[in-house]
């Protein structure tokens, strides 16, 4: 059964319910501003791209699944493919990551894969995010969360953990908001 946010997204013409998570996060933390150059990691199905385009951002996206019918710069690759760096410059204002692994149902394995994607998002941010840029990363709460947050804090001036109200209550997903990247 679809929840009210999924139905609302469909009625409003959005490609997924995740748009409301990004809206809530941005309304609260102001990580994305009009005119920003934004890289969306794991951009399929495209609801975050829709929000970013509506915010008048220059949008780039990377995913293994193609996002159709939206006007943005799309790279059809896996985020682990280092050839993505040939297509990206190092002047993004914001990176958003809604990356999620294919789940197996094995809790420890799924959490580890999610954490690996978060570290990859941080690695990409270190290479292509401007000084003072912002990073938003979805992560599934796990026993190594503190370790990841510590690593993010080593690279950003402000770091906050946040669970949007739109997230399903039973979901372990939370978001790391990291502002003002430091060039170390």
- pLDDT tens column, 124-162: 999 999 999 999 999 988 889 999 999 999 999 999 999
User: What is the per-residue pLDDT for 48?
Assistant: 95
Mean pLDDT score, 20-47? 96
As a whole number of angstroms, the distance between CA 62 and CA 121 comes to 11
User: What is the per-residue pLDDT for 156?
Assistant: 98
pLDDT band, very low/low/confident/very high, at 7 (cuts 50, 70, 90): low
Mean pLDDT score, 52-81? 95
As a whole number of angstroms, the distance between CA 154 and CA 156 comes to 6
User: What is the per-residue pLDDT for 17?
Assistant: 72
127 carries an active-site annotation: no
pLDDT band, very low/low/confident/very high, at 41 (cuts 50, 70, 90): very high
Question: Residue 4, Cβ neighbours under 10 Å: how many?
Answer: 9
- Inform me whether the pLDDT recorded for 66 exceeds 90: yes
Residue that wins the pLDDT comparison between 9 and 168: 168
Confirm whether pTM is higher than 0.75. yes
Domain CATH for 113: 3.40.50.150
As a whole number of angstroms, the distance between CA 31 and CA 177 comes to 8
Mean of per-residue pLDDT scores for the chain: 91
Question: Residue 107, Cβ neighbours under 10 Å: how many?
Answer: 12
Q: Are 181 and 130 in contact (CB under 8 A)?
A: yes
As a whole number of angstroms, the distance between CA 18 and CA 8 comes to 11
pLDDT band, very low/low/confident/very high, at 58 (cuts 50, 70, 90): very high
Residue ranges making up the domain that contains 11: 4-181
Identified catalytic residue from 21, 23, 138, 179: 138
Domain count, the chain: 1
């Amino acid at each position: 059964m679809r929840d009210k946010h999924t139905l609302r997204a469909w009625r409003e013409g959005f490609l997924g319910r995740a748009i409301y998570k990004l809206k809530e996060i941005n309304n609260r933390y102001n990580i994305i501003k009009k005119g920003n150059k934004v890289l969306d990691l794991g951009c399929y199905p495209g609801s975050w791209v829709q929000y970013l385009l509506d915010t008048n951002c220059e949008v780039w996206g990377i995913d293994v699944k193609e996002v159709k019918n939206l006007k943005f710069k799309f790279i059809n690759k896996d985020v682990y493919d280092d050839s993505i760096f040939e297509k990206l410059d190092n002047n993004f204002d914001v990176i958003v990551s809604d990356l999620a692994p294919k789940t197996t149902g094995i809790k420890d394995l799924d959490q580890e894969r999610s954490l690996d994607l978060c570290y990859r998002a941080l690695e990409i941010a270190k290479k292509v995010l401007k000084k003072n840029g912002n990073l938003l990363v979805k992560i599934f709460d796990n026993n190594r969360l503190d370790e990841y947050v510590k690593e993010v804090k080593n690279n950003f001036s402000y770091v906050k953990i946040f669970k949007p109200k739109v997230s399903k209550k039973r979901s372990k997903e939370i978001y790391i908001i990291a502002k003002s990247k430091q060039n170390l």
